[in-house]
Structure 1
Amino acid sequence: MLLKQQVNLAKNILAQRRNVSTSTASAQSFQKWYQKLWAPERTNLPPYSHFTQIGDPVLRQKAAPVPQEHIQSPEIEAIVEQMVRVLRKFDCVGIAAPQIGVSLRIIAMEFKGGIRKELPEAVYQARQMTELPLTVFINPVLTVTSYTKLKHPEGCMSVRGFSAEVERFEGVSISGLNAKGVQSELELTGWNARIAQHEMDHLDGKLYTDHMDRSTFSCTCWEAVNTKSGRVEIPFYK
């Protein structure tokens, strides 16, 4: 649902509430109780500033294409800006619109060069990691260019605290519209191809847990859980 439609929905709910307003205290008390039956209030609406988590229905829906006439609208611009904001706030490498609660076909990717300093060089090379500037695709289409499969550990901000080994194609081509509505295409290999495949899965209602080697599924902080006698928290905010 587009942000504008969500705003209109909120306005309609407020209008309906005004229409059923009454003057007596008892009637107003009944009114509040009755409204909760059909219009429960929500204090937080998409696009979120956090990642939706596995179990949220939005992650299992096939995201809708962004209509051509809305691609350069303020609503889509706001959604893209929020995606980039959340991507960088959580220091991750990819994000899809459903991960902030918006079921639209939009992804953003960014692999910063500084990550190399945080990983052993052998790991960086084995995973074929290379820097990828911030890249946004609206209504992306992915084509496999190398059918060789690589298996590496993979995590997801929407399956917080866990990881598993996943096979992905070594090379892909991704095309679509950028944030300005201009058609673009990008050839990706290695880890960046993995990022693209991971984010495209989100647009089709899939998670890495659907493809993983189940025997490798593990909690990323299991050692800390043992060391600290279970007193470990996995934050869903930052």
Structure 2
Amino acid sequence: MNAADELIASQIRTVMTAAEANNGIAPIVEAGDPILRSETRDFDGQVDDAELAQLAEVMRATMLAAPGVGLAGPQVGIGLSMFVAEDPGSLDPETAKVRERAPMPLRVVLNAGYEPATSENVAFFEGCLSIPGYQAVVARPRSVELTGVNLDGTPIAEVVSGWSARIVAHETDHLDGILFLDKAEMRSLATNTSVAQFWNQPSTQKAAAELGFALPSGMLL
């Protein structure tokens, strides 16, 4: 094992130790930590299958406790190409329809990558567990082609659509050192409190009109 892989193995064990001392919940790294701006390394056996499965459990528990719908390796201080995602969907029928937010079962993805599967973009507020307290509107492809490997080693090559595509893109971006604010309409930047007070609508049309930013051309609302 080379030095880079040894570092990742050490990072994993550090996170596991911290989680053991905190009811299975790992600390979440916040913006400003250089690991969030570094490209990750692919998983190629830095730890054994049992340790990898334990890490996935810790990441899921940490994500749910935050609470959030996705969490990438760098967000817990590990430079590994890995993310977990799980979304219960929206309970509001109109929001679910406009945002195409259907439930997404738990998935653990290694060595993830994505490409747009459509030329159509959709723009909604999103946030990040590593940038607590803030949200901004980000335009992302309505569908993406996700590639990678499942936890059991099964290859992934599938099209993911709707809100699930947004989650997949957001988390995969983390693996390349990209934060959602890098792609955001900065005129839309708002605190969570302001989003709840002013922009609690299924679409971002009202926010765009009143805050003065453009939505993707031809975006469906």
TM range (shorter): 0.7 to 0.9
The counterpart of 1:147, out of the listed 119, 123, 147, is: 119
Matched, 1:55 2:29: no
Q: 1:78 to 1:216 in 2, by over 3 A?
A: same
- Give the 3-state SS of the residue equivalent to 1:213 in structure 2: strand
User: Conserved in 2, the CA contact under 8 Å of 1:72 and 1:179?
Assistant: no
User: Which 4+ runs in 1 deviate beyond 4 A?
Assistant: 4-7, 43-48
Partner of 2:54: 78
Give distance in 1, aligned partners of 2:33 and 2:42: 20
Are 1:159 and 2:131 an aligned pair? yes
Task: Specify the alignment match of 2:216 in structure 1.
Answer: none
Residues of 2 paired with 1:5 and 1:222: CA distance?
Answer: 36
| 8 A contact 2:19–2:26 mirrored in 1 | no
Pairwise CA RMSD: 2.7
Question: Where does the alignment leave 5 or more consecutive residues of structure 2 unmatched?
Answer: 1-6, 197-221
Whole-Å Cα distance in 1 between the matches of residues 194 and 12 of structure 2? 40
Residue type matched to 2:9 in 1? L
Counterpart CA distance in 2 for 1:130 and 1:151 is 17
User: Per-residue deviation at 1:5?
Assistant: 6.8
Query: Letter of the aligned partner of 1:53 in structure 2?
Result: E
Q: CA deviation at 1:78?
A: 2.6
Q: Residue 116 of structure 1 is aligned with which of 90, 94, 99?
A: 90
Give how far 1:72 is off.
4.6
Task: Give distance in 2, aligned partners of 1:50 and 1:61.
Answer: 18
1:147 to 1:2, Cα distance in 2 relative to 1, 3 A: same
Q: 1:3 to 1:208 in 2, by over 3 A?
A: same
Task: Structure 1: state its 5+ residue gaps.
Answer: 10-42, 225-238
Distance in 2 (alpha carbons) for counterparts of 1:184 and 1:198: 17
1:129 counterpart residue number:
101
Calculate the TM-score normalised by the size of structure 1.
Answer: 0.70
Which of 185, 188, 193 lines up with 2:157 in the alignment? Answer: 185
Q: 1:111 to 1:6 in 2, by over 3 A?
A: closer
Give TM-score scaled by structure 2 length.
0.75
Report the structure, 1 or 2, having the larger helix content.
Answer: 1
Aligned to 2:80: 104
Please report how far the alpha carbon of residue 82 of structure 1 lies from its aligned counterpart in structure 2 after TM superposition: 1.3
Indicate if the aligned counterparts of 2:113 and 2:146 stay in contact, CA closer than 8 A: yes
Question: Across the two proteins, how many residue pairs are aligned to each other?
Answer: 186
Q: Which residue is 1:13 aligned to? A: none
| Structure with greater Cα Rg | 1
